[in-house]
Amino acid sequence: MSDRPILLVEDSPDDVLLTRRAFKKNHIRNAIVVASDGAEALAHLLPEDGSEGLHPALVLLDVKLPKVDGLEVLRRIRDDERTCHLPVVVLTTSNEERDIVTSYRLGANSFVRKPVVFEEFVAAVNALGVYWLLIPAGAR
């Protein structure tokens, strides 16, 4: 399993807590770096001085974020050669079709609507973990 950190871009402290719990329940022990808005996420991934930034195993990206929204963060990740190959899973509360379509068009690897029921979220995180963390990139 990759031991690189997971970057969780999420502005709701409650969701951060529940997501951490879902990872723990799925025995995913990667460090979790939290960015609470889009600007912070970009500062981690794409330092302005052009140096190599954080190189996470997986980016979990909420769509609706303060300052720079999730879809813009995704666009900037794909536009920069330092980050263009990072696996990015877009998380959202809504199931607006336009968000789904835009996410995939911008190069999201996956799109997950955060379920209301926590047990379902744990299951979703399990599937994400197995796919993006457990299976080596070459085998995907």
Partner 1 sequence: MSTGTAGGRPRVEVGHEQLMALIDHTSAVIYMRDADGRYLLVNHEYERLFRLRREDIVGLTDHDLFPRPIADEFRHNDLEAIARGVPVQVEEEAPGEDGLHTYVTVKFPLHDEVGRAYAVCGISTDITERKRAEEEVRRLNDELEMRVRQRTAELEASTRELDAFAYSVSHDLRAPLRSLEGFSQVLLEDYAEELDEDAQGYLRRIQANVGRMAQMIDDLLHLSRATRSQLRREHTDLSALAREVAHELATTEPGRTVEFRIPDGLSTQGDPHLIRLVLQNLLGNAFKFTGHRSDATVEVGSLVRDGVEIFSVRDNGAGFDMKYASKMFDPFQRLHAASEFEGSGIGLAIVHRIITRHGGQIRADGVPGEGATFLFSLTPSPADWEIR
Which amino acid is residue 41, in one-letter code? A
Residue number with CB closer to partner 1 (2 or 12): 12
Residue number with CB closer to partner 1 (69 or 80): 69
Give the contact letters, 96-135, x = binds to partner 1 (CB under 8 A), - = no: x-----------------xxxxxx-x--------------
Residue number with CB closer to partner 1 (52 or 96): 96
In the structure encoding, which two tokens stand for residue 128, read together? 């994400």
Residue 18's CB is within 10 A of a number of other CB atoms, namely 17
* Smallest distance from partner 1 to CB 13, Å: 9
Q: What single DSSP character describes residue 115?
A: P
Distances (CA, A) of 23 to 61, 82, 122, 133: 15, 26, 8, 12
Question: By CB under 8 A, is residue 95 in contact with partner 1?
Answer: yes
Which residues are near partner 1 by CB under 8 A? Answer: 12, 14-15, 18, 21, 64, 92-96, 114-119, 121
